[in-house]
Structure 1
Amino acid sequence: MQTLQTIIVFLIIFSIIVVIHEFGHYYFAKRAGILVREFAIGMGPKLFAKQGKDGTTYTIRMLPLGGYVRLAGLNEEEAIQAGMQVGLVLDDQEQVIAINTTERSEVDELPVQVDQLDLANEMYIDAIPVGQTESVRYSVSKIAQIIEADGTRVQVSPIETRYESANVWQKMMTNFAGPMNNFILSVIVFAIVGLMMPAIPSSSSEIGDVIEGNPAAEAGMLSGDRIIEIDGQSISSWNDVLGTIQSMPGETVIVVVERDNQALDLTIEIGSIQVSDDSQPVGQIGVYAAQKTGLIDRLLYGFTATWGVIASVLGVLGSMFTKGFDINMFGGPVAMAEATSEVVNQGYTTILYFMALLSTNLGIVNLLPIPALDGGKIVLNLIEAVRGKPLSQEKEGIITIIGVIFLFILMIAVTWNDISRVFF
């Protein structure tokens, strides 16, 4: 029962985060005049499809793992190629209004073999009808339908509705909108968490409670002290306190605190704890942040908590350049599922906190300048802005493939590392 509950909670959380992410791409693509061929909830085989008046096909797919949007002209392979056997549905003016690529024939369908076609600029198909030897040119409507192999109907995309026709800033905003939505979701959910909690931790460096018997208490630190310096490093927030202390396990340092408008030097021997058997030890002195209960503070917790997660993740990524690459810095689906199992019985507040945490992480990861991720696409947009023209589709395709291969290898490595850590 516990396992089933964990799976359900994990799927709900992950699906919400991904669908909100994809809606960002969808919304700004629409604003830029880019045709969104499909907005899918889930992955894998299609269960349900409905095409809207806006030309977008909305689908629900079998595997409840997130979702995706298909933007016309962006990293998509054309469904119809020369040499294919398709069925054409013509209107009274002999204009193509549907192209059937499935093995099931439509009513009044003309079976043909495609010779050549242009479904972006000139909107035509040259094809040889069954039983004939001569190619015939058919004009294609700008709102014609393509019936894909699984029966999904999507709209053709004339050049003016394709990704490449949008200006560079519209492309950039469309690519950035997914991570942006993750940050917005994080702010909203953290604010809800702030309203649900008895009190929220202050973002300042003020100490709320000092735990007896720990290094801070032994050094004479008191509730209400504000930490302003640790081992010569200036401190301005609680994130600074945590980051600095945790990075110095076992070290003896001078901590400068402000008490009654006076600066006091305290000598503290930082404690060392190990969260798990395969993790590095982290420093701890036994203090909690000051707590706030005001309504404004609770709402602002959405912003402060989101920024705290962003700063923490960026710090971890930055450490790769100073301490080297460590696969344990990353977690895949197994690690996410393991974390979900730990929070699922801790109440709605903890589950919501976990969702906001994952949403922020997904936003940051997607902004990394890796081809195939949103950050990689934004880099290509910046190159286009500098050059005054985009890279060729062939070059962009090669770059994207390299990014996909890299991410695939990284995901395999991260997943195997997670499995080894959990089960062996």
Structure 2
Amino acid sequence: MTTIIAFLIVFVVLVLVHEFGHFIFAKWAGILVREFSIGMGPKLVGWRRNHTAYTLRLIPMGGYVRMAGWQDDDDSEIKPGTMLTVEVGADDVITRINLSQRTTLQGGIPVQVSAIDLVDKLELQGYANGDEDTLLTWRVDHDATVIEADGTEVIIAPADVQFQNAPVWKRLLVNFAGPLNNFILAILVFIGMALASGVANLQTNQIGQIQPDSPAAKAGLRADAVIRSIDGQSVETFTDISTIVSKHKGDPLTVIATQGGQRATLTITPSAKGVIGVYPALDHGVGTAIRYGFTQSWAIASQIFHVLGQLVSGQFSLNKLAGPVGIYTMTSQAAAGGLSTLVMFLAMLSINLGIMNLIPIPVLDGGKILLNLIELIRRKPLSQDKEGLVTMIGAGLMFALLLAVTINDIMRAF
């Protein structure tokens, strides 16, 4: 149960951070965000604020930001012949349209739709109260809302606030914002961990802690001592200590150190593995923590790029990829290592998610960015038919890869 909870927390945090990136940049670009959802499937709870519906849905696997005019946003369910209820203001302008059987509009007017345009004309034509002889026309308020079949109330999407009508450079930034937020999350986590636990300072010859009952402890070496030389070799950094000691497994070494303000000469015999049981000093400085946040994130990103390079260069192996089952297994291992290990795993997974989303496959953010760049070069977008076809092909490839990776994860787990 602990693993399941940890997995859900990690997954929800990553999705929330990723989608919030799209959300905040869309708001900045003047694009209407109709819904911000955590989870998929049937709605559990929801509320609306500043023209956006915030929902929590049943299946805690994913989430989405529903932008006006974006791929899965469509008012085409309101077709001629549809029965609905409208709420009309004092100026005879529709302010709410109800498509749900779960909600009743007080004072609402039952209407059978003849024609409706919620994008350009903002107009609805229909027959009210069962009167099929009189066709009425109402104007629809620019900020009118639609109560959808599941009870979610979202604002309509006029042309001026739709995604595809924003400048292409703003759309590109909106698409990039999700992965960007994943990178920012990882950097902040590493900075926080560095502030809390410190960063190993490998550029000094001062040691930190001594492992109890280790060769160093038995020889009398103290924590915070400064090692000057080992077996006649000058020591400038902690890396020097590791390099020299590892070459003398089981051989006694003469160590000259300064501890307690006095010079000391000690004889330390490394273990058969070539260690003496010393740890580097820890730096808790803010500047060091910030640098660590960026350098550690880049180190992990470099490893991921290396693996992706191998996949592209012909060294493809499903064992180098992980799907939901593989991530669940890794989450279990991280959770067993304690909270700090789980948080570090979250940061590493966030970088992984950000980079994988930038792969130029149309169904991913990277594919959308590629289409934005093509539009910038061509000075016009691809036709909707071509873009839809490319997206379908990309989605098919991603589904096939996910299925193969999941099967491989299950086989490895059992």
TM-score, length-normalised on structure 2? Answer: 0.78
Cα deviation for residue 311 of structure 1 reads 0.7
Tell whether the 8 Å contact from 1:37 to 1:56 is kept in structure 2 after alignment: yes
Cα deviation for residue 44 of structure 1 reads 2.2
**1:209 corresponds to which of 236, 242, 245:** 242
**2:405 corresponds to which of 394, 414, 421:** 414
Query: Could you say if the C-alpha distance between residues 198 and 27 of structure 1 is closer, same or farther in structure 2, counting changes exceeding 3 Å?
Result: closer
Query: Could you say if the C-alpha distance between residues 202 and 164 of structure 1 is closer, same or farther in structure 2, counting changes exceeding 3 Å?
Result: farther
Partner of 2:297: 306
Cα deviation for residue 45 of structure 1 reads 1.8
Question: In the aligned structure 1, how far is the partner of 2:22 from the partner of 2:202?
Answer: 34
Query: Could you say if the C-alpha distance between residues 217 and 419 of structure 1 is closer, same or farther in structure 2, counting changes exceeding 3 Å?
Result: farther
Fraction of identical pairs, as percent? 41
**In the alignment, residue 282 of structure 2 is paired with which amino acid?**
T
Question: In the aligned structure 1, how far is the partner of 2:383 from the partner of 2:248?
Answer: 64
User: Is 1:74 equivalent to 2:70 in the alignment?
Assistant: yes
Alignment of 1:99-248 (within 5 A): 99-104=97-102, 105-129=104-128, 130-133=130-133, 135-197=135-197, 199-200=199-200, 209-210=242-243
**2:282 corresponds to which of 272, 293, 298:** 293
Question: In the aligned structure 2, how far is the partner of 1:50 from the partner of 1:171?
Answer: 27
Q: Deviations over 1:243-288 (max 9, x none)?
A: xxxxxxxxxxxxxxxxxxxxxxxxxxxxxxxxxxxxxxxxxx99xx
Query: Could you say if the C-alpha distance between residues 392 and 207 of structure 1 is closer, same or farther in structure 2, counting changes exceeding 3 Å?
Result: farther
Partner of 1:33: 30
User: Is 1:373 equivalent to 2:364 in the alignment?
Assistant: yes
**In the alignment, residue 101 of structure 2 is paired with which amino acid?**
E
**In the alignment, residue 142 of structure 2 is paired with which amino acid?**
K
Q: Greater CA deviation, 411-420 or 199-208?
A: 199-208
**1:58 corresponds to which of 34, 54, 57:** 54
Cα deviation for residue 121 of structure 1 reads 1.2
**In the alignment, residue 368 of structure 1 is paired with which amino acid?**
I
Gaps of 5+ in 2: 204-236, 254-273
Question: In the aligned structure 2, how far is the partner of 1:15 from the partner of 1:94?
Answer: 44
Partner of 1:385: 376
Question: In the aligned structure 1, how far is the partner of 2:289 from the partner of 2:308?
Answer: 29
Query: Could you say if the C-alpha distance between residues 73 and 355 of structure 1 is closer, same or farther in structure 2, counting changes exceeding 3 Å?
Result: same
**In the alignment, residue 123 of structure 2 is paired with which amino acid?**
Y
Question: In the aligned structure 2, how far is the partner of 1:19 from the partner of 1:74?
Answer: 19
Q: Deviations over 1:347-395 (max 9, x none)?
A: 2221111010000000001111011211111111111111212223333
Cα deviation for residue 137 of structure 1 reads 2.7
Partner of 1:44: 41
Question: In the aligned structure 2, how far is the partner of 1:145 from the partner of 1:102?
Answer: 12
**In the alignment, residue 19 of structure 2 is paired with which amino acid?**
E
Query: Could you say if the C-alpha distance between residues 114 and 193 of structure 1 is closer, same or farther in structure 2, counting changes exceeding 3 Å?
Result: same
Query: Could you say if the C-alpha distance between residues 392 and 206 of structure 1 is closer, same or farther in structure 2, counting changes exceeding 3 Å?
Result: farther
SS in 1 for 2:63: strand
Aligned residues: 351
Tell whether the 8 Å contact from 2:163 to 2:171 is kept in structure 1 after alignment: yes
**In the alignment, residue 341 of structure 2 is paired with which amino acid?**
T
Query: Could you say if the C-alpha distance between residues 168 and 417 of structure 1 is closer, same or farther in structure 2, counting changes exceeding 3 Å?
Result: same
Query: Could you say if the C-alpha distance between residues 9 and 152 of structure 1 is closer, same or farther in structure 2, counting changes exceeding 3 Å?
Result: same
Tell whether the 8 Å contact from 1:75 to 1:397 is kept in structure 2 after alignment: no
Gaps of 5+ in 1: 223-284
Question: In the aligned structure 1, how far is the partner of 2:201 from the partner of 2:162?
Answer: 47
Cα deviation for residue 133 of structure 1 reads 4.8
Query: Could you say if the C-alpha distance between residues 341 and 208 of structure 1 is closer, same or farther in structure 2, counting changes exceeding 3 Å?
Result: farther
TM-score, length-normalised on structure 1? Answer: 0.76
Tell whether the 8 Å contact from 1:57 to 1:153 is kept in structure 2 after alignment: yes
Question: In the aligned structure 2, how far is the partner of 1:35 from the partner of 1:357?
Answer: 32
Question: In the aligned structure 2, how far is the partner of 1:394 from the partner of 1:146?
Answer: 27
Cα deviation for residue 140 of structure 1 reads 0.9
Bigger Rg, structure 1 or 2: 2
Tell whether the 8 Å contact from 1:197 to 1:349 is kept in structure 2 after alignment: no
**In the alignment, residue 10 of structure 2 is paired with which amino acid?**
I
Tell whether the 8 Å contact from 1:200 to 1:298 is kept in structure 2 after alignment: no
Query: Could you say if the C-alpha distance between residues 96 and 393 of structure 1 is closer, same or farther in structure 2, counting changes exceeding 3 Å?
Result: farther
**In the alignment, residue 7 of structure 1 is paired with which amino acid?**
I
Cα deviation for residue 189 of structure 1 reads 0.5
Question: In the aligned structure 2, how far is the partner of 1:211 from the partner of 1:142?
Answer: 74
Question: In the aligned structure 2, how far is the partner of 1:134 from the partner of 1:398?
Answer: 43
